[in-house]
Amino acid sequence: MRLQTGNKLLMIGDSITDCERARPVGEGLFGGIGKGYVMQVDALLGSVYPERNLRVVNMGTGGNRVRDLKARWQTDVLDLHPDWVSIMIGTNDVWRQFDSPLRVEEHVYLQEYEETLDHLVAKTLPEVEGIILMTPFYIEPNRHDAMRAKMDEYGEVVKATAERHGTLFKDTQLAFDKALQHYYPATLGWDRVHPSHVGHMIVARAFLETIEFRWSGDNL
């Protein structure tokens, strides 16, 4: 597995990452790490690789776009000195263009999204052992749906950014597409954005595959 003994993994994003995590730092007792995929990742890492003493921190914030991540990057990422950083952002960058079409000041268009994500990755790479970039997703199988098509464009930016910087990458949308061959979208997310517990496990599984998690842990 990619994460080594004593590593600190920081996972950052929007409400899909947040999931009622503790403030100011998402870790600790009584659900401090949140109730979503970050919690599931932490539970699986801790139970399968107990000897590695891996520390997982949730720094997701509901409603965030990539420009919001940039505004808090120093305090919420760099100042916490993680060894690994996972970034999944873009849902609200796209969604605001559809649920608030007249509030253009809330929109983050493709060029800003790409430039900001690239800046954050370039700034962070020298400070960490690795970065995992995950695409935003829309729980909608129809690729011609307007918001789904736009989300795919932002996902392509994430892929290109990962290739440019040599980071780990996961197509989270593809993971949902496979599940959507069997599920009605609302079953995995009532609004096609915020996942159910099964939807969160799809994200967690996608992440764990990317870091080469093995169910047998170090007993291979």
Q: φ, ψ for residue 57 (rounded to 5)?
A: -125, 130
pLDDT over 60 at 94, yes or no: yes
Predicted confidence (pLDDT) at residue 138 exceeds the cutoff of 80 = yes
User: If you average pLDDT over residues 60-71, what whole number do you get?
Assistant: 97
Dump pLDDT digits (tens) for 169-220. 999 999 999 999 999 999 999 999 999 999 999 999 999 999 999 998 775 4
As a whole-number percent, the residues of the chain with pLDDT over 70 amount to 99
Segment 16-30 shows an average pLDDT of 95
Query: What is the pLDDT of the chain when averaged over all its residues?
Result: 96
pLDDT of residue 219: 59
| Stretch 64-79: mean pLDDT | 98
Model confidence pLDDT, tens digit, residues 31-48: 999 999 999 999 999 999
Please name the residues in contact with 155: beta carbons below 8 A apart, sequence gap of 6 or more. Answer: 90, 135, 136, 137, 171, 172, 173
CB hemisphere CA count around 217 (13 angstroms)? 14
List of domains in the chain: 8-210 (3.40.50.1110)
User: So what's the pLDDT on residue 216?
Assistant: 82
Give me the mean pLDDT over the 60-80 stretch. Answer: 98
Distance CA 5, CA 50 (A): 10
Task: Quote the pLDDT of residue 91.
Answer: 97
Query: Looking at the predicted structure, is the pLDDT value of residue 54 above 80?
Result: yes
Q: Which residues are designated catalytic?
A: 15, 191, 194
φ/ψ of residue 103, rounded to 5: -90, 70
Task: Express each pLDDT in 115-126 by its tens digit.
Answer: 999 999 999 999
Backbone phi, psi, residue 66, to 5°: -65, -30
* pLDDT of amino acid 165: 98
